[in-house]
Amino acid sequence: MKTFLAPPLTLLLTLLLTLLFTCSAAQAQTPANNPMPDGSRDLYIGLGAITQPVYQGGNARRVRALPLLQLEWSNGVFVSGMSAGMHLSQQPTLEYGPLLSVQTRRGVDGTGEAIDGIGQQTVPGVMQPTSQRGAASGGDGLQGMDPIKARLQAGAFVNYDVTPTLRLTNSVLYGAGKWHDGLVWNLAVQHTAADITAHHRLSWSAGATLVNNRYNASFFGVGGSEATSSGHRPYAPGGGVQDVYLGARWNWALAPGWLLVSGARVTRLQGDARHSPLVQRPTNVSVSSGLAYRF
């Protein structure tokens, strides 16, 4: 069985140092650090809909409501979807700081509900729970598996603007999974196209997710007791590249204060995650659209 650099604390420190010296940035939602007047704040609230698999690797799909939230203060603190952090850099092309993010619950009915931001990325793997009847009709890959409770993850992000339209991003978060020791490292490149018109902006992103063996064991592994109750063969995945993805985002300024945000994302599982007996479909597609108002 492969491992992804253990022990976890040593890995976390190594990744944090790598973040600081490579000047990359966060896939976890970290809005750009736009200069704001002292004491001011910028708030978006909205509601949309998203369609995506019941859980990452699942075959069944689900459509649900998707709340939108993004809030920034002039001191650098921000809340975007399920993430919160603080911009510490004073340089216009470099952003870094601490990051907190909530990992949603996963039960036999799929992945729990979540909130999205209005940034360039959609949130992967967030879905509204359903009843057992609904799960049996398509989410039965998780029947007999132990639930994974919601977790608070902590880490850091660093963003670097190579050009005004090209950004390197990565983040590292620790604390996910069944045993609070799952580690996730997200790396991506984002490109924002010049405004299509005065009211439209298109952006795309491509990236990868790296995890330690404890994270993969939580979400793609099958323990001895789970094998008995679920009927899946026992499976102990190692760490490494969990998935790669391509995403696109279209923002349409309908009127002063109103913004229509639409996005699509294609994710392909890799490595040990791809070969898990829980995976019914290795390629997942999510599509979302929502209307937000700026206060």
pLDDT at 98: 98
pLDDT at 292: 97
pLDDT at 100: 98
pLDDT at 137: 39
Q: Span 191-219, mean pLDDT?
A: 91
* CA 37 to chain CA mean position, Å: 30
In degrees rounded to 5, what are phi and psi of residue 165? -115, -5
pLDDT tier, 117 (very low <50, low <70, confident <90, very high otherwise): confident
Vertex 120 angle, CA 153 and 164, to 5°: 115
pLDDT at 91: 93
Beta-carbon contacts of residue 271 (< 8 Å; ≥ 6 apart): 237, 238, 240, 241, 242
Q: What is the average pLDDT value for the chain, to the nearest integer?
A: 85
pLDDT at 37: 75
Place of tokens 């294609």: 266
The answer to whether residues 196 and 33 touch, using CB atoms and an 8 Å cutoff, is no
Whether the pLDDT of residue 240 is over 70: the answer is: yes
Whether the pLDDT of residue 283 is over 70: the answer is: yes
pLDDT at 29: 58
Whether the pLDDT of residue 54 is over 90: the answer is: yes
Place of tokens 């650099």: 5
Q: Return the bridge partners of 286, or none.
A: 265
Q: Is 16 exposed, middle or buried (0-12, 13-18, 19+ CB in 10 A)?
A: middle
pLDDT at 221: 98
Helix H or strand E segment including 94? strand 94-103
Whether the pLDDT of residue 256 is over 70: the answer is: yes
Q: Span 147-166, mean pLDDT?
A: 96
Helix H or strand E segment including 196? none
| Lowest mean pLDDT across 27-41, 46-60, 126-140 | 126-140
Q: Span 101-120, mean pLDDT?
A: 84
Of residues 93 and 132, which shows the higher confidence score? 93
pLDDT tier, 275 (very low <50, low <70, confident <90, very high otherwise): very high
Whether the pLDDT of residue 26 is over 50: the answer is: no
- Relative to beta strand 110-111, strand 151-163 is unpaired
